[in-house]
Chain A
Amino acid sequence: MDFTLDKKHEMARSLFKEFAETEVKPLAQEVDETEVFPRETVTKMQKYGFMGIPVPKEYGGQGCDPLTYVMCVEELSKVCGTTGVIVSAHTSLCVDPILTYGTEEQKQKYVRALATGEKLGAFALTEPGAGTDAQGAQTKAVLDGDEWVLNGSKCFITNGKEADVYIVIAITSVTEDKRGRKKKNFSAFIVDKGAPGFSFGTKEKKMGIRGSSTYELIFEDCRIPKENLLGPEGKGFPIAMHTLDGGRIGIAAQALGIAEGALERAIAYTKERKQFGRSIAQQQNTQFKIADMATRVEAAQLLVYKAAMAKATQKVYSVEAAKAKLFAAETAMAVTTEVVQLFGGYGYIREYDVERMMRDAKITEIYEGTSEVQRMVISGALLK
């Protein structure tokens, strides 16, 4: 077992780091303050292939592996959690399911446009009454001639109004089991922006990742072509769950990046900040905190990279993804909270990045499966 990266991954990391420092970091604070989607940065990322990293070249992608993609989200998130999640939601939640379940025509039409950066993707599962409990969903799709007709709404959708292509999960039938209990059967659909009957509702005002475009999606007799069904009819739920397994690795990478970014700032700040005639880095309290945080961050990194490697080599990687997301997200929250404490009053002021990082970290414990859901997945595999 070798824990060192090979040269091409090292070089990819240096690329992402340079891009993040040069193009993303200078805008991070403004993006947070103004809550404006960083369109210019996204355009640059599209130009340089960041939106199709793990996609095969035959579909317009970069032909790299999940580890490279994870390092991209990690490096971007070190300086801006918003930018990290834009890439993650696009790649893991929209490109990946089409690549995995799409027909050849769907891959040629959608994956190519998404991977080359012509289009941006999003994924819509959550509804006001259906978070962790997906059976609470209400959005329906009915086949009418050569078109599916969608009715309902989705909420908290990342890349909401900015995306061009949406994966939408909707109920296509309700069946009864042997005991007479009703069960909703879901299907997955590819919906283009501009489809008749598809509109946007409220823009959410959030605690963190404030530049990411989080919207409600509304479908009122929204008509999409029959061939936009993704995967077999009735298989929407397993498709959504498998998609989220991949998504969790992306969010784990985002959380890891936020934790690493906060730790880097703490190291720099505590060496400079003087109290009682010496830097606070010379106080044992600081030293022990830095040591604990660094250890925890590295453990998170190993879990995240292991999950990325599992995605590259295994068909099922739910448990690896759940462990990575659970630990990385809780690390991000713990580390950013501790770093704000080390900064003292300055940590509470918006001029310093760590306040934003603490707000950005919180969502990683919630979206794409809360920490509680990750614990259910992990224990479920052990106790079955």
Chain B
Amino acid sequence: MKIVVCIKQVPDTKGGVKFNPDGTLDRAAMLAIMNPDDKAGLEAALRIKDETGAEVTVLTMGLPKADDVLREALAMGADNAILVTDRVLGGADTWATSTTIAGALRNIDYDLIITGRQAIDGDTAQVGPQIAEHLGLPVISYAEEIKVEGDSVVVKRQYEDRYHEIKAKMPCLITALSELNVPRYMTPGGIFDAYEKEVTVWGRPDLKDVDDSNLGLKGSPTKIAKASDKVRKGAGEKVNLDPTESVSYLMDKLKEKHVI
């Protein structure tokens, strides 16, 4: 069995978000980590590997320094790593990203593709399902449990007030939630081995069946008007009124703010 896990290097938002003067993320000023949902997806793949001996390949699209997260994945136990990097792919939105990753995946054999639900920098949750669409694969999103049964996967899919148990024949794509598991640590020896291994590097010419008009900034229909950090809320206003008065007070406020 062959599993491909798509991972992304993202800025660590724990220490706060920093912006360039033009409103884009100042990635250089923030520590870079493996996106948490992707890491859970990788752990799920590695658990399948522990049970069945599956081969796990990790793939990322990004700057050359995204090599770091691939090495981390190798140190956790992934077998192969692919970095898709090219200047012409820069500035990609979800559409251009999923087009690129699908173009890379067309070069590889796989039974199962696992992506994180969403990245903590963009929070769109679009790339995984879009990759499946490009490749004509069934997609099961929001997986909180994954089991392999013969040539199928059985996935517990999180919903707002329930969960769905979905069975799909492979090949298919699953998007993973960080709640899926607690990812394993790397091992010291795994780290040393990871730096001995070769990471396959692909550029634009290696992408299969993709059109230039769907790649990079030029191929991105999304335009970002403005980006900002979370705005801190004020202390608010405390009132102590009886129930009837409270209701009319609230109604007045809601009307004042044009909520109702």
Interface residues of A (CB under 8 A from B): 7-8, 11-12, 15, 18-19, 48-50, 53, 57, 61-64, 68, 72
Contact = CB atoms under 8 A, between A and B. Distances in A.
Contacts of A18: 185
B193 to A, nearest CB: 8
Interface string B179-208: 000001111111111110000000000000
Contacts of A12: 188, 191-192
20 contacts: A7-B71, A7-B195, A8-B192, A11-B72, A11-B186, A11-B191, A11-B194, A12-B188, A15-B185, A15-B188, A15-B191, A18-B185, A49-B187, A49-B188, A53-B188, A61-B189, A62-B188, A68-B188, A68-B192, A72-B188
Nearest to A6: B195
B186 A63 contact: no
A213 B43 CA distance: 35
B75 interface: yes
A8 B194 contact: yes
A15 B186 CA distance: 7
Contacts of B187: 48-49, 62
Contacts of A62: 187-189, 192
A45 to B, nearest CB: 10
Interface string B157-195: 000000000000000000000000000111111111111
Contacts of B185: 15, 18-19, 48
B71 A50 contact: no
A83 B194 CA distance: 27
Interface of B: 68, 71-72, 75, 184-195
Contacts of A15: 75, 185-186, 188, 191
Contacts of A50: 188
Contacts, number: 53
Contacts of B190: 49
Contacts of B189: 49, 53, 57, 61-64
Nearest to B67: A7
Most A CB within 10 A of own CB, among B184, B185, B188? B188
A23 B192 CA distance: 22
A23 B175 CA distance: 28
Contact of A64 (B71, B184, B192, B194): B192
A171 B188 CA distance: 38
B1 to A, nearest CB: 25
A53 B192 CA distance: 11
Contacts of A48: 184-188
A8 B194 CA distance: 8
Contacts of A64: 188-189, 191-192
Contacts of A63: 189, 192-193
Given A8-B192, A11-B191, A48-B188, 18 more contacts: A7-B71, A8-B191, A11-B68, A11-B71, A12-B192, A15-B188, A15-B191, A18-B185, A19-B185, A48-B185, A48-B186, A49-B188, A50-B188, A53-B188, A53-B189, A64-B192, A68-B188, A72-B188
A15 B189 CA distance: 11
A19 B185 CA distance: 8
A8 B68 CA distance: 10
B66 to A, nearest CB: 13
Contacts of B194: 8, 11
Contacts of B75: 11, 15
A19 B187 CA distance: 11
B158 to A, nearest CB: 25
Contacts of A57: 189
A8 B195 contact: yes
CB-based closest 6 A-B pairs: A62-B189, A49-B187, A8-B195, A62-B188, A64-B188, A11-B191
Contacts of B195: 7-8, 11
Nearest to A9: B191
Contacts of A7: 68, 71, 195
Contacts of B186: 11, 15, 48
A54 B191 CA distance: 13
Contacts of A49: 187-190
A47 to B, nearest CB: 9
Nearest to A23: B185
Nearest to B71: A11
A364 to B, nearest CB: 23
A362 B68 CA distance: 39
Contacts of B184: 48
A57 B193 CA distance: 11
Nearest to B196: A8
A50 B190 CA distance: 12
